[in-house]
């Protein structure tokens, strides 16, 4: 059975082709389902991303969310001839998964000329909120 292709905006497809998702995303098993500046979705398996008690490590939620928020911010930055770099991230963990898949949905709160703000919500297979993360990216000129 073949996996469906991710839903990508034209800008996202070009950027993903240029940069890829990165070694950490590959190592953690991220699967990109949708990518645009405004909305992105990715999944991560629970297996392999847990802390010693068997729960998803809080840092794994943050890595998933920060990656997705940064990917989205860079899609926006690319349209402006800039690059996005993270300057702030915060997370509130409300529940933890012990099996299955974590799905992260990223939505743009602000797409500006110098800053972007994205909110990422991670849920489990039963659509229960696990973590809420916000990331701010600074848009700087390409060097």
Q: pTM of this prediction?
A: 0.90
| 66 is an active site residue | yes
CA angle 107, 81, 120 (to 5 degrees): 15
- Which domains occur in the chain, in start order? 7-141 (3.10.129.10)
**Active-site annotation holder among 31, 66, 88, 119:** 66
Are 135 and 65 in contact, with CB atoms under 8 Å apart?
Answer: yes
Give the residue ranges of DSSP H helices in 39-80.
58-79
Using CA atoms, how far residue 82 sits from 15, 23, 57, 74, 117, in Å, is 12, 22, 33, 8, 16
- Give the Cα separation of 27 and 52 in Å (integer): 18
pLDDT tens-digit readout, 106-132: 999 999 999 999 999 999 999 999 999
Alpha carbons 29 and 60: distance in angstroms, whole number: 11
- Each residue's pLDDT tens digit, 5-38: 678 777 777 777 766 678 899 899 999 999 999 9
Output 23 or 105, whichever has higher pLDDT.
Answer: 105
């Amino acid at each position: 059975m073949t996996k469906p292709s991710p839903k990508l905006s034209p800008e996202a497809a070009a950027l993903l082709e240029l940069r890829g998702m990165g070694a950490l995303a590959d190592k953690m098993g991220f699967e990109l389902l949708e990518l645009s500046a405004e909305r992105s979705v990715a999944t991560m398996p629970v297996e392999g991303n847990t802390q010693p008690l068997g729960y998803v490590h809080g840092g794994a939620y943050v890595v998933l969310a920060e990656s997705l928020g940064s990917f989205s911010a860079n899609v926006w930055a690319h349209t402006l001839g800039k690059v996005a770099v993270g300057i702030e991230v915060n997370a509130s963990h409300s529940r933890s998964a012990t099996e299955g898949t974590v799905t992260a949905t990223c939505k743009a709160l602000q797409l500006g000329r110098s800053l972007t703000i994205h909110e990422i919500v991670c849920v489990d297979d039963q659509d229960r909120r696990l973590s809420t993360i916000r990331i701010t990216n600074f848009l700087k000129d390409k060097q």
